[in-house]
């Protein structure tokens, strides 16, 4: 036999011997003898975390409205309207030992019955204490809870790096609490379009429907994100999941702990736009980055800090700004009070400005539901203020009367009015307040000529009386 063949066979025999020895050792279970060996399993972390992760079940009763039910003869033979129960399934995380649970807003949106199941199978009715559509987060409180619950520790999402190992815990497809693992694929995805604050942690940890609101944790067992969405063509996990950074979650938790039903965040009072290649070249930049100031609201924090139209924001408190979405996230996660240092490029030099961290001003909204027979019947309207405009994602400088809600099945909804529409004029009369609209809706007109502002564009419509 040639030497080369003998050498190969000899190596094969050696590998076989090693394999047998390895299998024999693996069959012998033993207690780890060092911290290094413990880190080879996620079990200690999972055991500590899972009591803080819950399942969220939400439901609401919807009446199936059939016009034929208005006929008493039809009702006699076929019975009354049949109600339908709509259900939503998700996950949540206990963030306060008193029984506060954070989850996604889309899990409980429009729901009136919420139940939370703990990892030990106990169930509690829960009330929704805060909903924040802008961040897609909501806070629940367990009802009739008299004990201390295991709250998860909050980490620092800004400390995450691409390649870090993370665990995702939730209730995918309703099968029960499930743990998956993966790595951080990206730390600042800003073009996702899931919430107003386009800034997400991307991970390849398996996330599926039902994981929404669940925990994304690091290997110290700290919460670094709330699992929110997946990118999928099939409805199942494709290895691309997105989580809301815990530093955004903190402000929502703090607002709920303070007894507020809305999240108070700093507002800038300026509209920002993305930097194109041409703009970056004009500023002498090597690549497109930063946020260009397009407009400024008078007497806003931006105006009082000295920010100007045409300034290019490059950093906030020393952190580089990649685009307007990144700036919005960084600014919104600042604590109220104090100031944030914003560095801008202006006329070829860097200028540092101190922007006060203040809540957006509100005013008397005078919310009311239009009950008069008119195209607005069933519309809930209110006076616009910067705070309301901020909530509705409108231009903060807008004034007037905005639609803030539409009753299901109402004439206003059937005619196509939407939440966020600003009523500009009715039959030639300008509408400045919700009272103005309520009064003119009481009139009797054969034709209703209505002008609204939607997505910044005026729309004129005519309805018969």
What residues contact residue 350 under an 8 Å CB cut-off, 6+ apart?
A: 314, 343, 344
Apex CA 362: angle with CA 311 and CA 325, to 5°? 35
Choose the catalytic residue: 52, 157, 212, 300. 212
**91, 132, 136, 410: which is the annotated catalytic residue?**
136
Phi, psi (5° rounding) for residue 169?
Answer: -125, 130
Catalytic residue among 106, 204, 311, 436: 106
Annotation marks residue 91 as catalytic = no
Quote the distance between the C-alpha of residue 146 and its chain's center: 30
Among the listed residues 147, 70, 138, 73, the one whose alpha carbon sits nearest the alpha carbon of residue 110:
138
For residues 379 and 163, give the distance between their C-alpha atoms in angstroms, rounded to a whole number. Answer: 49
Residues in the chain: 465
315-343 burial, b at 16+ Cβ within 10 Å, e below that, comes to bbeeeebbbbbbbbbbbbbbeeeebbebb
> For residue 210, what is the enclosing H or E element?
none
49 exposure class (CB count in 10 Å sphere: 0-12, 13-18, 19+)? buried
Enumerate the β-bridge partners of residue 35: none
Tell me, yes or no, if 198 is annotated catalytic.
no
Is 300 an annotated catalytic residue?
no
| Sign of the alpha-carbon torsion through 125, 130, 131, 136 | negative
DSSP 317-375: TTEE--SHHHHHHHHHTSPSSSEEEEEEEETTEEEEEEEE--BPP------EE--SSST
SS3 273: strand
- C-alpha closest to that of 291 among 305, 280, 304, 278: 280
Cβ partners under 8 Å of residue 111, min gap 6 = 58, 59, 60, 86, 88, 128
- Which residues are the active-site residues? 106, 136, 212
């Amino acid at each position: 036999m040639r030497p080369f063949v003998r050498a190969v066979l000899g190596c094969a025999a050696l590998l076989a011997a090693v394999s047998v020895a390895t299998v024999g050792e693996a069959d012998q279970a033993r207690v780890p003898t060092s911290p290094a060996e413990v880190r080879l399993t996620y079990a200690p972390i999972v055991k500590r975390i899972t009591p803080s992760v819950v399942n969220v079940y939400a439901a609401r009763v919807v009446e199936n409205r059939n016009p034929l039910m208005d006929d008493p003869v039809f009702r006699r033979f076929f019975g009354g309207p049949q109600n339908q129960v709509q259900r939503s399934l998700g996950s949540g995380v206990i963030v306060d030992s008193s029984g506060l649970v954070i989850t996604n807003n889309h899990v409980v949106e429009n729901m009136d019955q919420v139940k939370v199941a703990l990892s030990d199978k106990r169930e509690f009715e829960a009330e929704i204490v805060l909903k924040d559509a802008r961040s897609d987060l909501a806070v629940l409180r367990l009802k009739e809870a008299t004990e201390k619950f295991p709250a998860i520790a909050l980490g620092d999402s800004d400390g995450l790096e691409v390649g870090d190992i993370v665990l995702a815990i939730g209730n995918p497809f309703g099968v029960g609490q499930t743990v998956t693992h993966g790595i951080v694929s990206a730390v600042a995805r800003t073009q996702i379009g899931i919430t107003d604050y386009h800034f997400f942690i991307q991970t390849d940890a398996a996330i599926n429907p039902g994981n929404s609101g669940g925990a994304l944790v690091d290997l110290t067992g700290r919460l670094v994100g709330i699992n929110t969405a997946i990118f999928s063509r099939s409805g199942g996990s494709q290895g691309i999941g997105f989580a809301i950074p815990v530093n955004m979650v903190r402000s929502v938790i703090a607002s709920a702990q303070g007894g507020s039903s809305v999240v108070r965040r700093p507002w800038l009072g300026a509209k920002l736009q993305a930097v194109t290649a041409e703009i970056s070249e004009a500023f002498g930049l090597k690549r497109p980055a930063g946020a260009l100031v397009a407009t400024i609201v008078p007497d806003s924090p931006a105006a009082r800090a000295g920010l100007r139209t045409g300034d290019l924001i490059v950093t906030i408190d020393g952190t580089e700004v990649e685009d307007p979405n990144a700036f919005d996230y960084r600014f919104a996660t600042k604590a109220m009070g104090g100031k944030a240092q914003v560095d801008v490029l202006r006329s070829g030099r860097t200028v540092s400005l101190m922007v006060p961290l203040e809540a957006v001003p509100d005013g008397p909204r005078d919310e009311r539901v239009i009950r008069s027979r008119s195209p607005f019947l069933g519309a809930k309207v209110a006076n616009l203020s910067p705070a309301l405009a901020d909530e509705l994602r409108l231009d903060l400088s807008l004034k007037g009367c905005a639609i803030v809600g539409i009753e299901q099945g109402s004439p206003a909804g059937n005619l196509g009015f939407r939440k966020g529409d600003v009523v500009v004029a009715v039959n030639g009369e300008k509408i400045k307040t919700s009272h103005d609209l309520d009064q003119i809706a009481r009139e009797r007109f054969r034709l209703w000529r209505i002008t609204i502002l939607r997505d910044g564009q005026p729309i004129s419509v005519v309805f018969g009386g």
